[in-house]
Amino acid sequence: MDLDDLKNQLKQLGAPEGDLDKIVNDIGIVVLNKILSAVLLKLSDDRRRELEGMSPDQITSHPNTIKDQITFPSRTELDGIYREVLESYFTSNVK
C-alpha cells in the first residue's frame, strides 16, 4: 500500500478530502512514536536511559554497540500498532 492508496481508503471511509494530508501526517507521527516506544520497551532500563536524547547518528556510532541490542518490532507487533492507531484515530475523529 502506498500513500495514494491510503488516501483513497480514507476518502472512502468519509475523511474530508481537504484534510487527507493532515490526517496521514497525524497518523504517521503517532505510529512512529509507538514504534519507538515498542523498541525502547525491549531494552533494559540502563540502556533505555543511555539512549534518551541521543540522535540516530549517536546511536549507530555508539562504542557499546547499543544498535546491536535494539530489537525492531516484529511484523505482528507492527500490525497491532497500525491497527490500534487507526482504530483510535477513527473512533475519536471521524463521526
pTM attached to this predicted model: 0.55
Higher pLDDT, 57 or 69: 57
C-alpha cell recorded at residue 65: 554497540
Cβ atoms 31, 17 nearer than 8 A: no
Q: Which domain holds residue 62?
A: 3-9+19-93
Provide φ and ψ at 31, rounded to 5°: -60, -45
Specify the pLDDT at position 36: 80
Instruction: Decide if 67 is inside a domain.
Output: yes
CB 86 within 8 A of CB 27: yes
The number of angstroms, rounded, from the C-alpha of 19 to the middle of its chain's C-alpha atoms is 20
Q: What is the mean pLDDT of residues 17-33?
A: 83
Q: How many domains in the chain?
A: 1
Is 81 part of any domain?
A: yes
